[in-house]
A and B are shown apart, each in its own frame.
Chain A
Amino acid sequence: MEMIISYILAIVSYMLIDNVVLSRFYGICSFIGVGNKVKSAFSMGLAVTFVIMMATLVCYPLYFFVLVPAGIPFLDTLVYILVIASLVQIVGLFIKKNSPTLYKTLGIYLPLITTNCAVLGVVQTNSDASLDFLTSLANGLGTSIGFLVVIVLFACMRERMNGYNIPKAMKGVPIALITAALMALAFMGFGGMVG
């Protein structure tokens, strides 16, 4: 029971306290670029969640059972990039073949996931901190749900801001960055929630 609670706490911690976008500053490009409309932000968040989980599942055994025993752990970043790029292509291939609706929703966002550093950040953290397999999965799940929550909340706020009278100089990216900063301050309030 204690183990389950510790994994749940790890997920909550990676999701809210150590949030991938607002605390670790990964995935800012897609956060600003796609976090404009709730529908596309949700699609992007789901796609990133799927790829992060798949990358964690593939990269963990590759690092601990191939690279480390072979004495070549320095190749980790290169291997992760290739694995993530291949995974995105394979996921895209299946979506293209089997689910036209999902392909239409995610089609233009799929290549963006390859360049999303949040995916690389998760697998790199897993190997750098030598996390065990279940904690790595908890890290992946918490990080990806954190990304999904933050990008959807951000898109909701930006949609509402469209109706406000914002000075011309602040329109677009400047006001988006201020919103992100205020969100980061708000998320700091979660600090200390998990001991």
Chain B
Amino acid sequence: MDQVGYIILAISIVVILLAVFVISFVLYMRTPAPKGCEKLGIGPKNCEDCNVEGCMIYKQRHKKEE
């Protein structure tokens, strides 16, 4: 295989993998969350384990505790 062939093969492998990632990402986002798990994002309840002191949620949580 010549140089152009290698480049085309390399680009096609990367494009295929990117397509797989995009499709899986879109499917993941479109799949509805199970009942009771709709809001699993950032929030005082979900961030209890976190220790990042610069975060606003951490500061709010510790102000309340104090």
A-B contact count (CB 8 A): 82
Determine whether the beta carbon of B14 is less than 8 Å from that of A173.
no
Closest to A71 in B: B6
A61-101 interface bits toward B, Cβ cutoff 8 Å, 1 = contact, 0 = none:
00000110011100100110011011001101100110010
Which B residues have a C-beta under 8 Å from some C-beta of A? Answer: 1, 6, 9-10, 13-14, 17-18, 20-21, 24-25, 27-28, 31, 33-37, 40-41, 46, 48-53
Given A79-B14, A107-B40, A96 and B33 touching (CB < 8 A)? yes
- Which single member of A37, A93, A176 contacts B28 (CB below 8 Å)? A93
B37 partner residues in chain A, CB cutoff 8 A: 100, 103-104, 107
Given A34-B49, A40-B49, A89 and B25 touching (CB < 8 A)? yes
Which A residues have a C-beta under 8 Å from some C-beta of B? Answer: 32-34, 36-37, 40, 66-67, 70-72, 75, 78-79, 82-83, 85-86, 89-90, 92-93, 96-97, 100, 103-104, 107-108, 172-173, 176
